Chains A and B, each alone.
Chain A
């Protein structure tokens, strides 16, 4: 029997028990783990943490709007081969040298079990996940050009993240283990901050967190500040040595928290009036 891998979080990443269980279920069942959640809740960091905790190699396949499923498997550089044949360079007979494995392909041929992160799968075309069903199920694919089958000797641990910009197809979802990362509550958030800035001043942290959660409650904002923005903000506050009392009142460096001018205006307006505009 293969040695069991149990993920228990890593020193630089705060993980809830639910998430930990989901990761372990996915590992045990050898199914991809689909992670959804607000931006900035550490979806991508999770894969890094798993790789680190289990001491495995991490392969990252970042998806863009133009990414094709095929690119993850392999690309066949026909153009190079054509050019080579014209100029008589290289061994054109050997198709293999024009085949380049993608991230998925790399993960399959890896001798040690890797962690494969398919980041922001929702960025790609709507059909994209469907094109990977077989490959993720069987962990193998066939290269017709070289008549080769690339098959994983150890099934990689696959982590897939999504920002829910697009709905993912049903057939794909059915093959995944699903976890939704909730926005951390203040207690959890404090834990997260402590992991990053162990030495943060308690009163500064309290003030900043209060202001942060207060801002997050303003429903008129278009883009709510997330964990990563809070961390940046704390760093800015610490570096500048801002007077703790000022934090709640003035929200210094608000640009770090809110990225849209409109949001900053809304924030000041709400602060001034003391109530949210949402309620009529």
Chain B
């Protein structure tokens, strides 16, 4: 039954390895779960789960798998009062529990039910009846590893209850993220882009030999500067009204990118819904406070990686009509979609990040333009997972 838990965890997206599983088994053997369900839960989590981002997923799986182990709440009152008294821990030698581990859950539950029916009096210690401090598979504060625990206080809080609370929901990776998480994601852009060591100085061998020779063999070390990261980023942000609900998120993205000092260069421009012949210098998108898009093309080389951020929802005309530019008084000869294609042609490594969650793309207003733009740029949702995928895309040659 435990092996099936292993596969169950793996199927629910927690990447447990055989090694970790064996470690868990070794830990159980040593009695590190302290024969309590909570102990078992904590032990499983600390050995099998290596990121707080996975805690929630683990809690859910644990809950789903063990939910039938839940202690029956309709225990007769007397049972509870018997169980509340006389809690006296028993010490057990190592390895004692491994034999007991193999009992099947349904069987356990069945026994618990039966025993409940049979039992007519209070019972403490011993190894058969439901009672306190015993080694029976049934009871309260018991020391049976795979046993059923019938309630208890504080530290006897049910593991399922703990798991069921889903205390770590906020850490899930598919949640939208904060600045720090953005930064972590953007650091990955360095990992792949340059294999450079972060050493401050590197020994310049040629220089050292030359200098040493110049000084008649007296050793003289010469250091040179290490190589730098070569990633250059062009960030283009939609600051249209429809982006207002996401402004906080975009602001965080912007901050994390601008704080990341490992890029060789970072240029940020803004646009309204779609890109035409101008890119604005500020999010306010004021007339004349802009640069020509063509200027960007000619001044920023093709080695720039382009990240476009926008909801990609707009009127069809903004993409497919001359003069589709939604800003009053601005007329575009060239179609919006052509401008986008030009960007893609100029900058092979470009992605579109969309704050709208991916599952909603086919449904929201503007789903058509999302689809059209998605044909030009690989589009990802603006979450950690999306950004991760996007960054991988940026780094493909």
- State whether B218 touches A86 (Cβ < 8 A): yes
Residues of B within 8 A of A182 (CB): 167
Check A66/B200 contact, CB under 8 A, given A22-B46, A179-B46: yes
Q: Is A31 an interface residue (CB 8 A)?
A: yes
Q: Determine, out of A169-177, A192-200, A242-250, the stretch whose residues face the partner at the interface.
A: A169-177
Bits for B100-120, please: 1 = Cβ < 8 Å to A, else 0: 000000000000000000000
Q: Is B175 an interface residue (CB 8 A)?
A: no
Least CB distance, B335 to chain A, in whole angstroms:
33
- State whether B219 touches A82 (Cβ < 8 A): yes
Residues of A within 8 A of B200 (CB): 66
When the two chains form the complex, which single residue of B184, B221, B244 contacts A165, counting CB atoms closer than 8 Å?
A: B184
Q: How far is the CA of A170 from the CA of B16 in the complex (A)?
A: 11
Q: Determine, out of B20-28, B128-136, B312-320, B323-331, the stretch whose residues face the partner at the interface.
A: B20-28
- State whether B46 touches A83 (Cβ < 8 A): no
Among B17, B43, B47, the most chain A Cβ lie within 10 Å of the Cβ of B47
- State whether A174 touches B184 (Cβ < 8 A): no
- State whether A180 touches B219 (Cβ < 8 A): no
Residues of A within 8 A of B300 (CB): none
Least CB distance, A129 to chain B, in whole angstroms:
12
Q: How far is the CA of A28 from the CA of B180 in the complex (A)?
A: 34
Q: Is A126 an interface residue (CB 8 A)?
A: yes
Q: Is B3 an interface residue (CB 8 A)?
A: no
Q: Is A2 an interface residue (CB 8 A)?
A: no
Residues of B within 8 A of A164 (CB): 180, 184
Residues of A within 8 A of B19 (CB): 174-175
Q: Is B376 an interface residue (CB 8 A)?
A: no
Considering only CB atoms, which chain B residue lies closest to A86 in the complex? B219
When the two chains form the complex, which single residue of B32, B49, B191, B218 contacts A25, counting CB atoms closer than 8 Å?
A: B32
When the two chains form the complex, which single residue of A22, A82, A174, A180 contacts B20, counting CB atoms closer than 8 Å?
A: A174
When the two chains form the complex, which single residue of A25, A68, A125 contacts B27, counting CB atoms closer than 8 Å?
A: A25
Considering only CB atoms, which chain B residue lies closest to A176 in the complex? B50
In chain A, residues 20-38, which have Cβ atoms closer than 8 Å to a Cβ of chain B? 21-22, 24-25, 28-29, 31, 34, 36
- State whether B244 touches A280 (Cβ < 8 A): yes
Check A178/B49 contact, CB under 8 A, given A21-B42, A65-B198, A83-B219: yes
Q: Is A222 an interface residue (CB 8 A)?
A: yes
Least CB distance, B330 to chain A, in whole angstroms:
28
- State whether A222 touches B30 (Cβ < 8 A): no
Bits for B177-197, please: 1 = Cβ < 8 Å to A, else 0: 001100110011001000001
Residues of B within 8 A of A66 (CB): 198-200
When the two chains form the complex, which single residue of A83, A126, A280 contacts B191, counting CB atoms closer than 8 Å?
A: A126
Least CB distance, B215 to chain A, in whole angstroms:
11
Considering only CB atoms, which chain B residue lies closest to A168 in the complex? B50
Q: How far is the CA of A83 from the CA of B26 in the complex (A)?
A: 52
Q: Is B264 an interface residue (CB 8 A)?
A: no
Least CB distance, A83 to chain B, in whole angstroms:
6
Q: How far is the CA of A28 from the CA of B219 in the complex (A)?
A: 51
Q: Is B271 an interface residue (CB 8 A)?
A: no
Chain A interface helix/strand/loop/mixed? mixed
Q: Is B143 an interface residue (CB 8 A)?
A: no
When the two chains form the complex, which single residue of A29, A34, A165 contacts B50, counting CB atoms closer than 8 Å?
A: A34
Q: Is A278 an interface residue (CB 8 A)?
A: yes
Question: Interface size bucket, B side?
Answer: 35 or more
Residues of B within 8 A of A174 (CB): 17, 19-20, 50
Considering only CB atoms, which chain B residue lies closest to A65 in the complex? B198
Considering only CB atoms, which chain A residue lies closest to B187 in the complex? A166
Question: Interface size bucket, A side?
Answer: 35 or more
Least CB distance, A272 to chain B, in whole angstroms:
20
Q: Is B55 an interface residue (CB 8 A)?
A: yes
- State whether A25 touches B46 (Cβ < 8 A): yes
- State whether A17 touches B155 (Cβ < 8 A): yes
Check A125/B197 contact, CB under 8 A, given A24-B32, A79-B221, A86-B218: yes
Check A28/B23 contact, CB under 8 A, given A21-B43, A173-B50, A180-B55: no
Q: How far is the CA of A17 from the CA of B162 in the complex (A)?
A: 14
Q: Is A232 an interface residue (CB 8 A)?
A: no
- State whether A178 touches B46 (Cβ < 8 A): yes
Least CB distance, A249 to chain B, in whole angstroms:
28
- State whether A177 touches B46 (Cβ < 8 A): yes
In chain A, residues 64-86, which have Cβ atoms closer than 8 Å to a Cβ of chain B? 65-66, 68, 79, 82-83, 86
Considering only CB atoms, which chain B residue lies closest to A173 in the complex? B50
- State whether A278 touches B248 (Cβ < 8 A): yes
Q: Is B152 an interface residue (CB 8 A)?
A: no
- State whether A166 touches B184 (Cβ < 8 A): yes
Q: Is A167 an interface residue (CB 8 A)?
A: yes
Q: Is B52 an interface residue (CB 8 A)?
A: yes
Least CB distance, B58 to chain A, in whole angstroms:
11
- State whether A28 touches B46 (Cβ < 8 A): no
Least CB distance, B246 to chain A, in whole angstroms:
10
- State whether A29 touches B46 (Cβ < 8 A): no
Residues of B within 8 A of A269 (CB): none
Considering only CB atoms, which chain B residue lies closest to A172 in the complex? B50
Check A36/B52 contact, CB under 8 A, given A28-B32, A125-B198, A174-B20: yes
Residues of A within 8 A of B366 (CB): none
Q: Is B39 an interface residue (CB 8 A)?
A: yes
Considering only CB atoms, which chain A residue lies closest to B179 in the complex? A222
Bits for B235-276, please: 1 = Cβ < 8 Å to A, else 0: 000000000110010000000000000000000000000000
When the two chains form the complex, which single residue of B32, B47, B245 contacts A280, counting CB atoms closer than 8 Å?
A: B245
In chain B, residues 155-184, which have Cβ atoms closer than 8 Å to a Cβ of chain A? 155, 167-168, 179-180, 183-184
Q: How far is the CA of A86 from the CA of B184 in the complex (A)?
A: 48
Q: Is A12 an interface residue (CB 8 A)?
A: no
Considering only CB atoms, which chain A residue lies closest to B17 in the complex? A174
In chain A, residues 227-256, which have Cβ atoms closer than 8 Å to a Cβ of chain B? none
A–B complex contacts, Cβ < 8 Å, 9 sampled: A21-B46, A68-B199, A79-B221, A83-B219, A164-B180, A167-B188, A174-B50, A178-B49, A180-B52
A-B contacts besides A29-B27, A79-B221, 7 pairs, CB < 8 Å: A126-B187, A165-B184, A167-B184, A170-B15, A177-B47, A178-B47, A180-B168
The 5 closest A-B pairs by CB, nearest first: A173-B50, A180-B52, A22-B46, A178-B50, A25-B32
